[in-house]
Amino acid sequence: MDMQKLFSLEGRVALVTGGAYGIGFAMAEALASAGAKIAFNCRSQEHLDKALVDYAARGVDARGYIADVTDENQVKDLIAKIERDLGGVDILFNNAGIIRRIPMTEMSAEEFRQVVDIDLVGPFICAKAVIPGMIARGHGKIINICSMMSELGRETVSAYAAAKGGLKMLTRNICSEYGAANIQCNAIGPGYIATPQTAPLRERQADGSRHPFDQFIIAKTPAGRWGDPEDLAGPAVFLASDASNFVNGHVLYVDGGILAYIGKQP
């Protein structure tokens, strides 16, 4: 068996939603390193322009597009443009998402709906847009970005946990509906990842001690550290490649062992 060929994405077209920075950027870079042609979207020209510069600096030839994943017509246009520029989408990474940390009784229904719309309805819209083409080509990979909040609750993240729990079940249902069409739909559940967005939570305090949330995460993680975006590269390539052709409806948690661990005794 040719293992390099098994994990190769040569000639495949991958769309990473919200791939302008952070986890999405890291996964797109990983897919490109395995041979995939990369497309990504974001909602502002400013973020798109910066991302194109960042991709070029890392040696990745990526195509960027302006599109809102919650707008069905914009997503249809996005897929049509990618097909015109690169070919049909073989791999969809539903990465675009937001979180609002607001106590439930203080959160408005509008704020709740916004999180669910982006984090759950958006992946539904994007998957719905690419599945017909995948069926026509006889193969396809859909990878949703779930979360430990797909399994656990936590203060102030009611909307996010509801959306990510729903995304876990959407993952399983896409598998159930389209597995016979040789479409594999799986998910990655990142743990706490060291990105620019989480940097304030990892800053040392004035007395040199860890930030309280940093202490909490380290104590809850058997690996004893935050994850790096690069820790998601191997799982991303695995789930996007032929190596995972009989893996379907699965959530692969990349969390340093948090979900397996009750935490250190105080």
Q: Give the integer Cα–Cα distance in Å for 93 and 1.
A: 27
Annotated active-site positions, please?
160
